[in-house]
Amino acid sequence: MTTYTKEELTKAADRVFHNISQLFGYYAWVGKIAPTLASKDEGAQGHLYFVLAQNAVVDGYLINLRRLNEFFSKRPDKSKDEEDDDLRAYHFGFPEIGRFLDPQDMKELHKRIAHSTNRTALVGDVSYEAKQAAELALKHAFQFLEHILRTFYTDGSPESNSMKDACIVLIGLWSSWCKEAEQEKA
């Protein structure tokens, strides 16, 4: 099994937090940024910039969703584990709770985002409920963050305090996203 030093895992924890926080890029775009840009009439070039930025946000969201799904994978069997250099939640002593996406959804992410295939051209775009997927991901992610705050960092250390502050911000963003989604339903 691949093992990492405390220093390596501390650096990796920052990267995992980055992947988690990137899930909020979609919310920021759809709820905050796109509406202000869409109201400006800047012609064809402005529209092109808008579409390019939107596509980058959506693709980035989906890539990070995929990364997090794989991060929570269960430990592989011994023969595969020796060659595995993928960082997983279990490397931090987190319980192996498994992936949060349905295997068919994961296959679609592989086909549409992670690899160059003709899937989108032949079948068309797939509507993916960003908030529902984020909810599944964040359920795992918040449990993981709570775990590393409780067991990985030294309580009161600069790293611990920084991670706690960042988690509070993410929880606030999630709360806002949920409230706005409820208001849209009403």
Tens of pLDDT, residue by residue over 108-151, are 777 777 667 776 666 665 555 777 888 899 999 999 998 988 88
93: nearest Cα among 42, 144, 33, 40: 144
Q: Whole-model pTM?
A: 0.83
Residue 31: Cβ-neighbour burial (10 angstroms; 0-12, 13-18, 19+): middle
pLDDT at residue 1, rounded to an integer: 61
Tens of pLDDT, residue by residue over 157-178, are 888 888 889 989 988 888 888 8
Residue 103: Cβ-neighbour burial (10 angstroms; 0-12, 13-18, 19+): exposed
1 close to 93: Cβ distance less than 8 angstroms: no
Tens of pLDDT, residue by residue over 30-70, are 888 988 887 777 788 888 888 899 889 988 998 999 999 99
Q: Write out the two tokens for 135.
A: 């909810």
Return the half-sphere exposure (C-beta side, CA atoms, 13 A cut-off) of residue 74: 4
